[in-house]
Amino acid sequence: MSKISSRTLLFTILTTVFTLIVIDLYTWNHTRTFLLNGIRQDLHEKAALSLGLIDDKALENRDRVRLKQFTDEIKNLTGMRTTLIGKQGEVLADSEIPIDELNNVENHLNRKELQQALRTGSGLAIRNSATIGQELLYYAEPIRENGRVIGFIRFALLYPEFRNRMAYVTGLIARINLFLIVVVIGAVLLYWNWLTRQMENLRTPLIGQKEAPDYQMLPDQKYEEMDRIKADINAIGEKLQIAREELVSDQQLLLNIFDSLDEGVAAFDFDGLPLLNNRSFIDILKLKDGADHTRPFYDWVHFPPLIQDIESYLEKREPIKRRLKYYGDSFIEYKILPLKFNPREDSGFLVTLRDVTQLQQLETIRQDFVANVSHEFKTPLTSIRGYAETLLSEMAEDRELRKKFLEKIVSRTEHLENLVTDLLQLSRIEKNEITTIDRINPIPDIQEVAEEFMHISRSRKMKFDFEIMDFEKDIFIRASANLLHTLLSNLIMNALQYNHPEGSVWLRIKVEHEYLRIEVQDTGVGFTKEQRERIFERFYRVEAARSSYVQGTGLGLSIVRHIVELLEGKIEVESEPGKGSLFRVEFPII
Ligand code: ADP
């Protein structure tokens, strides 16, 4: 790139040289004309004097001898070579040429000085004399008679003075030129130096800011032009600073959003070096040390299937999606996709991750559930079918047997009905499709359930005891009468079912630490600690219970647990095989 300094210098020198040439030519020409005019004036006077001395008759008669005498005389007087020329240009006499040689002298009519003299009254020319081989100055004037040109008088003189004077003038001009050029170049350099310093005053603080995070305003400048540039740069700097801050805050916002995603995302370049990743990526992969941005993924992602998939993606560039068992019980699902900074080419690859442990568990639960439901339905259906087929066959004639089989069919059908009812109830509770939960006083509803079971237990010859521990005022909990009814019925029914004949059941209500506590206790068969862990599972039934209470579905306690969760309560169980069980439910009083 060309420099302003060199351009300025070149421009200044060219302008100066051009100006000097014009001035020089003008000066030189004028000086020359001035000098020549002086000479012309002097010679004109000499010519006028000489012509006063000329013998007109001799000129008329072309008396060469007389005319030669005249030219010699004039030469003696003036010291200049004198020539008389006829009006046709023929040389009549010359102080330097003998008369007999005059015929050999060529015609002078075309000589510059003569032509000029004809036009303007006097002619001056400087040229090399072929005769003496030196530069001579020629001056000619016409000789007139009655206004007619009858000839010319011409002086020729060696005029080294003129040359010397012109040489002096030329030398003077050259020195002045040199001086001016040196002065101009010096001035330009000094000026440039000064201007550069002014620019540096602006540039130096700017250079310092190249790496700085924030823009620092440039200081005020001494000169107006520089100060205007400073103001412009500051305005741009300020604008850039604002744009940068906006960009940073936008980026921060995006990073926050990116970080709060449940899905893990990481971008890698083709060497496998991470460019960006969010927190979920680290959390889902359980990377204790986080992502190492200086090393490729295979150094810190310790999951061989993912590493293999990334390698295969890098080879084939085909997106990959996979769900796999990760460490422990966790499952992850990942996708490997192209990373594009522009639509035309890939810049690396993206890995997105999801923790699908819960989803996988739900899937397993769903599969188990379908298997369990099918199983629970299959047993009664198989026996119904068996009894029905037997009825259709030979035994159908036996009235007693027919009755017995039909009763079995009814009982199995009841069981199926129970199953369907319980399943529907469970699904409604799970889906939250239940009557609205309100702030209610639960005591009247509990009393109602207690009365219902009082009758049932009496008909079974079992003891049922209902106790309300004294509390003075009304209490309120978040519940619905329906849900309370279902919960208590299930617990009390179990207490009656899994009990000894003539066993006892207690229903106790008390208020403790801002909680309403409901206890259902029995003197029944109880269950072991291991069984206690599982009784709330769907379809779980203690083996012995299957024969003692055939109509059971294994869903009752599941329903109880869901209701307790829905009403934000707690449930605890104590039990000892052969001695009895205690179910304790607590709801916060509001
Ligand atoms: P179901 O009573 O229909 O079998 P539940 O979910 O209500 O189903 O109970 C699951 C299992 O827990 C029962 O089959 C039974 O083995 C056991 N169980 C429940 N309540 C009691 C209890 N009070 N005493 C002894 N065992 C019980």
Return the ∠ at Cα 384 (arms to 380 and 389), rounded to 5°. 150
Position 458 scores a pLDDT of: 92
The arithmetic mean of pLDDT across residues 140-168, rounded, is 87
Task: Flag whether pLDDT at 335 surpasses 90.
Answer: yes
Q: What is the distance in A from the centroid of ligand 1 to the CA of 504?
A: 16
Residue closest by Cα to atom 16 of ligand 1: 542
Q: What is the distance in A from the centroid of ligand 1 to the CA of 367?
A: 23
Please give the number of the atom of ligand 1 that sits closest to the Cα of 522.
23
Task: Flag whether pLDDT at 438 surpasses 80.
Answer: yes
Q: What is the mean pLDDT of the chain?
A: 89
Q: What is the distance in A from the centroid of ligand 1 to the CA of 138?
A: 152
Interval 403-414: pLDDT, tens: 888 999 999 999
Residue closest by Cα to atom 19 of ligand 1: 494
Please give the number of the atom of ligand 1 that sits closest to the Cα of 542.
16
**86 CB-near residues (< 8 Å, 6+ apart):** 62, 92, 151, 152
Burial classification of residue 192, based on how many CB atoms lie within 10 Å of its CB (0-12 exposed, 13-18 middle, 19 or more buried)? middle
Q: How far is residue 108 from each of residues 86, 101, 121, 584, measured CA to CA in Å?
A: 9, 15, 16, 154
Rounded Cα–Cα distance for residues 451 and 385 (Å): 39
Q: Which of 60-74, 125-139, 293-307, 324-338 has the lowest mean pLDDT?
A: 125-139
Tokens of 181: 């050029």
Give residue 59's pLDDT band: very low, low, confident or very high (50, 70, 90).
confident
Tokens of 222: 């001494």
Q: What is the distance in A from the centroid of ligand 1 to the CA of 557?
A: 7
Mutational test site, ligand 1, from 557, 559, 572, 573, max ligand atoms within 8 Å of CB: 557
Tokens of 9: 């210098």
Share of the chain above pLDDT 70, in %: 98
The arithmetic mean of pLDDT across residues 305-322, rounded, is 93
Helix (H, G, I), strand (E, B) or coil at 205: helix
Position 171 scores a pLDDT of: 93
Helices (H) and strands (E) in the chain, counts: 15, 17
Residue closest by Cα to atom 18 of ligand 1: 494
Please give the number of the atom of ligand 1 that sits closest to the Cα of 536.
6
Residue closest by Cα to atom 25 of ligand 1: 526
Residue closest by Cα to atom 13 of ligand 1: 541
Return the ∠ at Cα 163 (arms to 161 and 165), rounded to 5°. 65
Please give the number of the atom of ligand 1 that sits closest to the Cα of 554.
8
Residue closest by Cα to atom 11 of ligand 1: 541
Q: What is the distance in A from the centroid of ligand 1 to the CA of 486?
A: 15
Tokens of 528: 């072991």
**CB distance 154 to 114 below 8 Å:** yes
CA 281 to chain centre: 23
Position 538 scores a pLDDT of: 87
Place of tokens 């810049």: 347
Interval 241-261: pLDDT, tens: 999 999 999 999 999 999 999
Nearest to 279, CA basis, from 296, 297, 262: 262
Tokens of 463: 């003891």
Rg (CA), the chain: 66
Q: What is the distance in A from the centroid of ligand 1 to the CA of 468?
A: 25
Position 1 scores a pLDDT of: 67
**496 CB-near residues (< 8 Å, 6+ apart):** 453, 456, 457, 460, 462, 464, 505, 522
Q: What is the distance in A from the centroid of ligand 1 to the CA of 552?
A: 8
Rounded Cα–Cα distance for residues 546 and 166 (Å): 144
Please give the number of the atom of ligand 1 that sits closest to the Cα of 520.
23
Long-range contacts of 303-309 (CB under 8 A, 24+ apart): 306/334, 306/351, 309/334, 309/336
Q: What is the distance in A from the centroid of ligand 1 to the CA of 525?
A: 10
Q: What is the distance in A from the centroid of ligand 1 to the CA of 542?
A: 7
Residue closest by Cα to atom 7 of ligand 1: 556
Task: Flag whether pLDDT at 9 surpasses 90.
Answer: no
Task: Flag whether pLDDT at 68 surpasses 90.
Answer: yes
Rounded Cα–Cα distance for residues 59 and 142 (Å): 13
Position 546 scores a pLDDT of: 74
Burial classification of residue 51, based on how many CB atoms lie within 10 Å of its CB (0-12 exposed, 13-18 middle, 19 or more buried)? middle
Q: Which residues line ligand 1 (CB under 6 A)?
A: 490, 494-495, 498, 522, 524-527, 535, 540-542, 545, 552-558, 581
DSSP 462-495: -EEEEEE----S---EEE-HHHHHHHHHHHHHHH
The arithmetic mean of pLDDT across residues 53-67, rounded, is 88
Q: Which amino acid is at 35?
A: L
Give residue 32's pLDDT band: very low, low, confident or very high (50, 70, 90).
confident
Please give the number of the atom of ligand 1 that sits closest to the Cα of 422.
3
- Which residues are paired to 128 by β-bridges? 135
Count CB-CB contacts under 10 A for residue 266: 22
Rounded Cα–Cα distance for residues 240 and 310 (Å): 40
Please give the number of the atom of ligand 1 that sits closest to the Cα of 541.
14
Q: What is the distance in A from the centroid of ligand 1 to the CA of 297?
A: 53
Interval 461-517: pLDDT, tens: 999 999 998 777 789 999 999 899 999 999 999 999 999 988 999 999 999 888 999
Q: What is the distance in A from the centroid of ligand 1 to the CA of 155?
A: 158
Q: What is the distance in A from the centroid of ligand 1 to the CA of 554?
A: 7
Q: Give the single-character DSSP code of 97.
A: B
Q: Which conformational region is residue 375 in: left (phi greater than 0), alpha (psi within -120 to 50 degrees), or beta?
A: alpha
Share of the chain above pLDDT 90, in %: 55
Position 396 scores a pLDDT of: 61
